[in-house]
Chain A
Amino acid sequence: MARKWFSRWTTAFLLGVLLFQASPVWAQAGTVLGRQTLGRAYWHVFAAYAVMWILVLGWVVSIVRRLRRVEERLGKE
Chain B
Amino acid sequence: MSHKQTRWAIGILGTLGVATMIVLHWMVFFWVPTESTMGIVQRIFYIHPAAWWVAFLGFGIVGLCSAVYLWLGDERLDRAAVAGAEAGMVFTTIGLITGPLWGQVAWGTWWEWEPRLTLALILWFIYLGYFLVRRTTANPEQGKRFAAVVGVIGVLDIPLIHVSVTWLRSLHPEAVILNPESPMNLERSMGLTFGVGFLAFTLIFACLFLASYTVAGYEYELKLRDANPGGTQRAEA
**Interface majority SS on A: helix, strand, loop or mixed?**
helix
Residues of chain B lying within 8 A (CB to CB) of residue A20: 25, 29
- For B, the interface residue count at a CB cutoff of 8 angstroms equals 34
Report if A55 contacts B (CB, 8 A): yes
In this complex, how many residues of chain A approach chain B with their Cβ under 8 Å: the count is: 31
B28: shortest Cβ distance to chain A, in Å? 8
Q: Do the beta carbons of A44 and B25 come within 8 Å of each other?
A: no
Q: Is the interface of B mostly helix, strand, loop or mixed?
A: helix
Residues on the A chain within 8 Å of B105, using CB: 38-39, 41, 44
Q: How far is it, in angstroms, between the C-alpha of A64 and the C-alpha of B104 when the chains are bound?
A: 35
A66 and B221 CA atoms in complex are apart in Å by 13
Q: Does B51 contact A (CB under 8 A)?
A: yes
Distance (Å) between the CB of A38 and the closest chain B CB?
4
Smallest CB separation, A55 vs chain B (Å) = 5
A49 touches B47 (CB 8 A): yes
Give Cα distance in the complex from A67 to B25, angstroms: 30
* Interface residues in B25-57 (C-beta closer than 8 Å to A): 25, 29-30, 34, 36, 38-41, 43-44, 47-48, 51
- Cα A54 to Cα B127 with chains together (Å): 20
In the complex the two chains form, what is the Cα distance from A17 to B44 in whole Å? 16
Quick check: is A1 within 8 A (CB to CB) of the other chain?
no
Task: Please indicate the chain A residues that have their CB under 8 angstroms from the CB of B222 in the complex.
Answer: 70, 73-74
Residues in B whose Cβ lies below 8 Å from that of A58: 90
Q: Taking A44-B102, A48-B101 as contacts, is the C-beta distance between A24 and B218 under 8 angstroms? A: no
Whether B218 and A70, one on each chain, are in contact in the complex, defined by CB atoms closer than 8 angstroms, is yes
Cα A58 to Cα B97 with chains together (Å) = 15
Given A49-B47, A60-B208, A66-B219, 14 more A-B residue pairs with CB atoms under 8 Å apart are A23-B29, A36-B36, A36-B39, A44-B104, A45-B41, A45-B44, A45-B101, A48-B44, A49-B25, A51-B98, A52-B51, A55-B90, A63-B212, A63-B215
- Give the interface of B toward A (CB within 8 A): 25, 29-30, 34, 36, 38-41, 43-44, 47-48, 51, 86-87, 90, 93-94, 97-98, 101-102, 104-106, 204, 208, 211-212, 215, 218-219, 222
